[in-house]
Structure 1
Amino acid sequence: MEVFPVTHSILSERALANEILPFYFTDTFIDCRLLVRGMNDSYLVRAKGVEYILRAYRHGHRTLSDIQHELDLLQHLHLRGVRVAYPVDRRDGEFVTEVLAPEGTRYVAVFTYAPGTLWPLSPDIAAVYGQAAARLHQGMELFISNHQRYSIDIRHLLDDRVPRILPLLAHRPNDQYFVSRLWRLLQKEISIMAPDLKRGLCHGDLNGGNCHMDDERRVTFFDFDCEGFGWAAYDVAVFNWSVRDMPNREFALQLWQAYIGAYQNEMPLSDADIASIPYFVAARQLWLVGLHCQHADEWTYGNLNDAYFDRRLRILYELVREENWEL
């Protein structure tokens, strides 16, 4: 009897500890616990009293080339003195292990653990984060890899995502029309601005949740799963996007101003880059909603209810009003 198709499996903690982690560690007792289930699954690993993170990449989410590019980047940054959660090599010198899961091949990698936390956010901490983000971008400027990686472009942010949203808004025709028109506006405006915008490698998810700060205020970045070649302004805009959902708008503005001010002290952005940020904030929101809609067969359609769309679309409606965009 054939195995019934599976959308996304959860790899056994015990099997990872007994069958996969011995490729990386000689410890006879390795503790492995599921930490976060998400786009990829993360496990907290303890070996010889040291903590690590094991990531089990989702089947079909990233190519092996994409993953190897990410691991190359992390090694490059680590060697340049940028604080990142870098990959741990296996005892044979390799970094990636293949696992045959019910849904197909999944790739596993192990990373060092990033100490500390970034929460709760304050303007002071946001400034430290902005400075670290700029230095991260500086560290990525000379990176070269033999492996191919996808690009963070209009297709990635919008054209592959918005068509996933529109069918789920069929019962909300006004919102469906709004999203469709905003999509076209962003396509047009970003295309017009693109020649004047700085391009380079991006982390892809600098929302404030993918780094930790230790007691000495040293920032360590992790989760480079969204990294790719794109616009620096997009990477910067992700933090602006992340604080827009805060109930205290004045405080959110203080966080943003502290972040962008510290970033620009290290790595100034052009006027064109700054002007593009609101467009990338909107693109980021559509990207996220499209991602949720794309994976509704696993994360459930029940979560994509009216309350969900009310919350997610509110930010877009507010942004259109603030910027006086004509749809």
Structure 2
Amino acid sequence: MALFPVTHSILSQRALAAEVLPHYFGGSPSECRLLVRGMNDTYLVHSEGTRYILRAYRHGHRSLQDIRHELDLLQYLHSRSIGVAAPLTRLDGQYATEIQAPEGTRYAALFAYAPGHMLPLSPETAGRYGQAAARLHAIMNTFVSKHRRYQIDLKHLLDDRVPWILPLLEHRPEDQLFVNRVWRFLREHLDSIAPHLRWGMCHGDLNGGNCHTDNEGNLTFFDFDCEGPGWPAYDAAVFNWSVRDMSDRHYARQLWQAYLDAYQHVLPLSEMELASIPYFVAARQLWLVGLHCQHADEWSYGNLSEAYFDRRLRILHELVHEHDWKL
């Protein structure tokens, strides 16, 4: 009898310890525990007193070319003394391990554990984060890989995402029309200014997380799963997007200004790039909602409640109001 189709499996931590980790550690005893279940699944690994992170990429989420590009980028940044959680090679010199899961082929990669703890946000730490993000962008500009990677362009941010949202708003026709209009508005305006924006490598998720700080204040970036060629202005806008949901709006503005001032001290943004920030914040919001809707069959439609759409669409309404966008 054929196995019943699976959308997304959770790989056994015991099997990973027994069958995958020996490719990296040989016969050394290793412990593997599921840490985070998300777009990809993250496991905390202990081997000979040292912590590592094992990522099991979701089937169909990233191609092997995409994954190899990400691992190349991390190796490059590590070689340039940028604080990143670098990938580790297997004993045979390879970085990725192929796994035949019930839903199809998946890949796993092992990374160094980022030292320290999550960065607590304050104007001071937001400034350090902005400075580090600008340095990251500057170094990534010189990176070249033989492996292909998808682009963080308007197709990726908008056209591939919004069509997943609209059917789930059929019971909210005014919101459905609003989202469709915002999509068209952003498409038109970002298309017109895109030729005037710098293009380069982006982390893709510089939201204030995906970064640890140690006791000396050194920052280590991790989770480059969203990396790719794109607009650095978009990457900077992601931090603005991340603090917009804070209840204390005045404090959120302080954090953003501290981030922006520090970023510009290292890598100044042009007037056109600064003007693009609100558009990219809105595009980021549509990208995230579209991603959630696209993967609802894996993460559950129950998460897409009325409260969820109220909260997510509120930010778009606020942006339209603040900037007097004529939809």
Whether TM exceeds 0.5 here: the answer is yes
Matched, 1:214 2:218: no
Matched, 1:138 2:144: no
Gaps of 5+ in 1: none
Equivalent residue letter for 1:206: L
8 Å CA contact retained: 2:211, 2:222: yes
* Within-5 A mapping of 1:281-292: 281-292=281-292
In structure 1, C-alpha distance between the alignment counterparts of 2:275 and 2:246, rounded to whole Å: 22
What is the match of residue 168 of structure 2? 168
In structure 2, C-alpha distance between the alignment counterparts of 1:117 and 1:178, rounded to whole Å: 40
What is the match of residue 93 of structure 1? 93
In structure 2, C-alpha distance between the alignment counterparts of 1:120 and 1:311, rounded to whole Å: 24
Which range moves more in the overlay, 117-126 or 250-259? 117-126
1:208-250 C-alpha deviation (Å, 9 max, x unpaired): 1111111111010000000010001000000000000000000
8 Å CA contact retained: 1:118, 1:125: no
8 Å CA contact retained: 1:27, 1:47: no
* Within-5 A mapping of 1:1-327: 1-327=1-327
In structure 2, C-alpha distance between the alignment counterparts of 1:9 and 1:177, rounded to whole Å: 36
Equivalent residue letter for 1:301: Y
Equivalent residue letter for 2:245: D
Query: Which secondary structure state, in structure 1, belongs to the residue aligned with residue 117 of structure 2?
Result: coil
Deviation at 1:27, TM superposition (A): 4.9
1:71-114 C-alpha deviation (Å, 9 max, x unpaired): 00000000001010010000010000000000000000000000
In structure 1, C-alpha distance between the alignment counterparts of 2:119 and 2:246, rounded to whole Å: 14
8 Å CA contact retained: 1:27, 1:48: no
Deviation at 1:119, TM superposition (A): 3.8
Deviation at 1:116, TM superposition (A): 1.6
8 Å CA contact retained: 1:285, 1:316: yes
In structure 1, C-alpha distance between the alignment counterparts of 2:116 and 2:242, rounded to whole Å: 20
Gaps of 5+ in 2: none
8 Å CA contact retained: 1:116, 1:213: yes
Two-structure CA RMSD over aligned residues (Å): 0.7
Query: Which secondary structure state, in structure 2, belongs to the residue aligned with residue 314 of structure 1?
Result: helix
In structure 1, C-alpha distance between the alignment counterparts of 2:295 and 2:157, rounded to whole Å: 16
Deviation at 1:120, TM superposition (A): 2.6
Equivalent residue letter for 2:19: E
Query: Which secondary structure state, in structure 2, belongs to the residue aligned with residue 24 of structure 1?
Result: helix
Which range moves more in the overlay, 306-315 or 27-36? 27-36
Query: Which secondary structure state, in structure 1, belongs to the residue aligned with residue 215 of structure 2?
Result: coil
Task: Report sequence identity in percent.
Answer: 69
In structure 2, C-alpha distance between the alignment counterparts of 1:198 and 1:274, rounded to whole Å: 12
In structure 2, C-alpha distance between the alignment counterparts of 1:120 and 1:168, rounded to whole Å: 35
Deviation at 1:117, TM superposition (A): 2.3
In structure 1, C-alpha distance between the alignment counterparts of 2:111 and 2:135, rounded to whole Å: 21
In structure 1, C-alpha distance between the alignment counterparts of 2:326 and 2:175, rounded to whole Å: 15
In structure 2, C-alpha distance between the alignment counterparts of 1:303 and 1:56, rounded to whole Å: 23
Deviation at 1:161, TM superposition (A): 0.3
In structure 2, C-alpha distance between the alignment counterparts of 1:308 and 1:27, rounded to whole Å: 47
Equivalent residue letter for 1:164: W
Deviating above 6 A after TM superposition, structure 1's stretches of 4 or more consecutive aligned residues are: none
8 Å CA contact retained: 1:123, 1:258: yes
1:47-78 C-alpha deviation (Å, 9 max, x unpaired): 11000000000000000000000000000000
How many residues end up aligned between the 2 structures? 327
Deviation at 1:26, TM superposition (A): 3.0
Equivalent residue letter for 1:291: L
8 Å CA contact retained: 2:119, 2:211: no
In structure 2, C-alpha distance between the alignment counterparts of 1:300 and 1:195, rounded to whole Å: 39
Query: Which secondary structure state, in structure 1, belongs to the residue aligned with residue 21 of structure 2?
Result: helix
Query: Which secondary structure state, in structure 2, belongs to the residue aligned with residue 128 of structure 1?
Result: helix
Normalised by the length of structure 2, the TM-score is: 0.99
